[in-house]
Each structure stands twice: as structure tokens, then as C-alpha cells.
Amino acid sequence: MKSIKSRVLLASAASLLVLSACNSEKNAQSAAPGAPASAAAAPAVKGEAVATVNGTAINKSRVDMIIAHGASAGEADTPEARKSIIDKLTMQTLIAEAAVKKSLDKLPEVTEQLDILRQSVLADAYVQDFIKHNPVSDDMLKAEYERIKATVTGSEYKARHILVESEAEANAIIAELKNDATSFAKLATEKSADAGSKLRGGDLGWFDVSSMVPEFSDALSKLEKGTFTQEPVKTQYGYHVILLEDTRPIAAPPFEEVKPDLAQHLQQQNLKKDLEDLKAKAKIEIIEVSVAAPAAAAAPAAASK
């Protein structure tokens, strides 16, 4: 399946070809008055052409650009893929030329779209240029890692639970556990309604209490290691009996594991600051356009008697 970005690039290519063909036609007619329109519209071939349409070249670099964006979405660079792109570009070029011949490029809505497209491409180019010339160093990444690591506090919990529908069922399980606390896993496998944990004896693994509903978290945080709740804990899911097995301090993930995300985070921060500086230095005036309220529907005529 073609990526959205690849389809946008192909569509953008058609729009840019309209603008290019229009400008080339004007320039050629100025240089050689009276020349046939088809000859005047043909631009000079630049770069390695992979196809031409009525003398208009489709360069390999354009195909390469679309292929590169497709590769980022996991699409393979194959002869078949390139042929498909060239076929689409030739058709779009042909359609664009037909549009120019009908002067569709002079329609206000078309020129507006071309201007929007040009601004979008330039804005993207600015962002890519900023990232290229403002790389994030390892020292910056390590400093940010240490800053975030220092904010990581709290504990993780390892617990089991048994979930049942009624308070009476939960009380009966608590009574059994008071006689034999070691039977918790067995009881969870037999009686718990939580399909995700019952086959593991109610084991929930390690987790942060913030990932649980408040009633569950509050009850768990009051337990000592190796103890279970002496009363049923009611939540939106039913009634729980909870066993706290262990706790440990929350550990920050290894630097290498989070390095790519940190790099992206810092790049976005730096770019945001740069764009805010651009905006602060610019003279921007927002002109509000009043929109007339829709006219009230006319009252239906009274039925004649």
C-alpha cells in the first residue's frame, strides 16, 4: 500500500508542474514571440530524465525523492515501484499541461492552492535545514537524561489479586486466606474473574500504582510486603482481594534505550524555541473577518381552510 506521504508527493508534483509549465511558457514566449505554443511550453531538460511528455522532462531526482519517502514507510525500491511512479508522473504531467492549455492555472482557487503548496514545501525545508544545522550532541543528550533521571521517584509494586463479582465472595476468599495465606495463587486460578491474570495465579507483575484505578492503588499502598487486604476492595470491575509481594524504587531506563526519543525531544524543543523567536520578531496582524449569521428559516405559510 502506498504511503500517504508518497501520494501527497505525487499530487504535489502535478501542482508544481502546472506552475512550472506556466512560467516556462511565459518565458519562452517572451524570448521568441510567435513561436508555437507547444514548443514554447517545453522547458529545458535538467538532470537525468527518466521520461518526457511533449518535451517536458521528468527527472530521476523526482522519482528518487518519492522512493525515499516510500522507504521510510517500509516500501521497497524495486523496478516495478519506479515504473509505477514514472507512469503516474507522466500522466500527471499530461493532465497538468492540459489544465494550463485551458487556463485553469489562472483560476484564483488554483493559484491559491499553488501558493499554499509552495509555502508548505518551504516551511518543511526550513525545518529540515534547522535540524541539519543544529544537531543534538551526546553531551546534550546525557545532560537531559540526567535531568529527567533525577525526577524519577517513587516505587513499583509486585502484587497479585483475585477479582470476584460480589462482596460475599470476596469475604469468603479472605476467610480462606486467613487460614492459609500460601493458597492465594491457587485461589486466584480457581476463582478470579480476571482472565488476564488468573492463569498466572493472579500475578500482575511489576507496575506503578498510577496505572491502577484509585481504589486499588490506595488499598495496595497501605499493605506491608507479604500481606493481603483484610476487607474487599470495591472498584468499577468488582471486588478485589489484593496481595502485596514486593516493592522496589522506580528505576530509569538505560540511556541507550531512550537515546533516540531524547534526541527527538531535544530537537523539537530547539525547533520550538527557534520558531517562537521568529514569531516574536515578526510583525503579525490578525484581521478578523466577520461571518454573517445564517438567515432564519421562513415561517411556513398558514394552511388555507
154-249 fold:
Chitinase A; domain 3 (3.10.50)
On the question of pLDDT at 23 being above 70, the answer is no
Rounded Cα–Cα distance for residues 82 and 90 (Å): 12
The torsion angle over the Cα atoms of residues 56, 61, 67 and 69, rounded to 10 degrees, is -110
- The grid coordinates listed for 277 are 523567536
Residue 295 — pLDDT band, cuts 50, 70, 90?
low
**How many residues would you count in the chain?**
305
Instruction: Please state, in angstroms and rounded to a whole number, the distance separating the CA atoms of residues 20 and 25.
Output: 8
Binned at pLDDT 50, 70 and 90, residue 33 comes out as: very low
Q: Is the dihedral of CA 118, 119, 120, 124 positive or negative?
A: positive
| Grid coordinates given for 39 | 514548443
- The domains of the chain are located at 4-133, 154-249
The angle, 0 to 180 degrees and rounded to 10, between the axes of the packed helices 60-71 and 79-101 is: 120
pLDDT at position 304 over 60: no
Contact yes or no for 220/207 (Cβ under 8 A): no
* Strand bridging mode 233-235 / 238-249: antiparallel
Query: Do residues 160 and 245 touch, judged by C-beta distance below 8 A?
Result: yes
For 298, the grid coordinates are 421562513
φ/ψ of 52, rounded to 5, equals -135, 150
Q: What does DSSP assign to residue 201?
A: T
**Cβ atoms of residues 271 and 127 within 8 Å:** yes
Stretch 276-299: mean pLDDT, rounded?
80
Helix or strand (DSSP H, E) at 59: strand 56-59
**pLDDT tens readout for residues 163-186:** 999 999 999 999 999 999 899 999
CA distance 187 to 204: 15
Which triple of cell numbers denotes residue 142?
Answer: 546525557
Number of H helices, E strands in the chain: 11, 6
Integer Cα distance of 104 and 111 in angstroms: 9
Indicate yes or no: pTM above 0.85: no
- pLDDT per position as a tens digit, 189-237: 999 999 999 999 999 999 999 999 999 999 999 999 999 999 999 999 9
**Phi and psi at residue 210, in whole multiples of 5°?**
-65, -15
The average pLDDT across 75-86 equals 93
